[in-house]
Structure 1
Amino acid sequence: MAKRPQLTGRAAILAVVVCAIAMSLAYPIREYIAQRRYIAHLQQQQAKELEAIKALDDRRKQLQDPGYIKRQARERLLYCDPGHTCYVVMGEKPAEGKGAAGEKKVVRPPWYQTLWESVEAADTGQGQKAAKPTG
């Protein structure tokens, strides 16, 4: 009895047809995936823009409030209401809410002193010295 060949003509034609179908579907599937990715990106961008619109709308509402406008004029522009006596202390910054009282600020040396110390350290071949507070 003769053995049948493993790859018949019909099987070869079927393999060619399957490969042709796979090749013809590869590009549209790739484009579909790329478009879905682009749509997701646009949806994220739209969400960010909607948040920005909401923030701007809140700011617009805030700026339409006469009380807020008066408060900003007093704080930022140092305006005073008619009939009131306002005082401004010159040369002092207003204390911030946290830790303004009782804390010492670290005094940093001027920039030129730090620069000169680094030049001296480089000249002697040592590492940079710790900055010494002046004052």
Structure 2
Amino acid sequence: MAAAKKDRDRFSTATRLRLFGEQTAARVYRSQTRRQARRSRLTGRAALLALVLCSLIVALAYPIRQYVAQRADIQEQERKLADARERTEELRDAKARWQDPAYVERQARERLHMQLPGETGFTVLDPDAETRRRTDRGAADRAWYVNLFDGVDKADRSSTDD
């Protein structure tokens, strides 16, 4: 009879619910402790990884900045070298042209108005050029402050004419 009562208690609904609740609570508790353990390990690992990455970034920042600056300087110097080589070539070409007597003669005729013996030179005069030259020379012969006040007077007259 005692065995039958024991079997009844073992299979009763209240007993089964209590056992089921205890088992569920044990599973939940075990899974929570595992998650917490996993989280704490991941958090520590993540912190260590972040520390290592930050250390690497700090350690490499200055050399990388220097490298980039030096590369920029090298490119600037290469550009200057290319410009200098181009200028040198232009000067060599000019020197070679000046070695040619025909080029020298043409430049003398254009720039200095040179004429060979037996040639007749002509000068074309601009009638307005003489008056401009006289007014410019007159202004050059006077003191600077006289020119300044003349300019102010001209500006005043032109503003009152409008």
Q: What TM-score results when the alignment is normalised by the length of structure 1?
A: 0.61
Query: Over residues 71-99 of structure 1, what are the superposed CA-to-partner deviations in whole Å (9 max), with x where a residue is unaligned?
Result: 222232333334x233343x627xxxxxx
Corresponding residue to 2:57 among 8, 15, 22: 22
CA 1:36–1:67: 2 relative to 1, 3 Å: same
Which residue matches 1:62? Answer: 97
Deviation for aligned residue 1:69: 0.8
CA 1:66–1:129: 2 relative to 1, 3 Å: farther
Residue 87 (str. 1) matches residue 117 (str. 2): no
Deviation for aligned residue 1:63: 0.3
Which residue matches 2:153? Answer: 116
Separation (CA, whole Å) in 2 of partners of 1:72 and 1:41: 38
Deviation for aligned residue 1:113: 7.6
Which residue matches 1:12? Answer: 47
Query: Over residues 97-130 of structure 1, what are the superposed CA-to-partner deviations in whole Å (9 max), with x where a residue is unaligned?
Result: xxxxxxxxxxx9x798874342246xxxxxx478
Q: Number of matched residues?
A: 110
Sequence identity, in percent? 33
Q: What TM-score results when the alignment is normalised by the length of structure 2?
A: 0.53
Q: Which runs of 5+ in 1 are unaligned?
A: 94-107, 122-127
Higher-Rg structure is: 2
Secondary structure of residue in 2 paired with 1:15:
helix
Corresponding residue to 1:36 among 68, 71, 75: 71
Structure 1 letter corresponding to 2:125: E
Structure number with higher helix proportion: 2
Separation (CA, whole Å) in 2 of partners of 1:74 and 1:31: 58
Q: Compare relative contact order (CA 8 Å, sep 6+) and give the higher one, 1 or 2.
A: 1
Structure 2 letter corresponding to 1:92: L
User: Do 2:115 and 2:121's aligned partners in 1 also have CA atoms closer than 8 Å?
Assistant: no
Separation (CA, whole Å) in 2 of partners of 1:39 and 1:130: 62
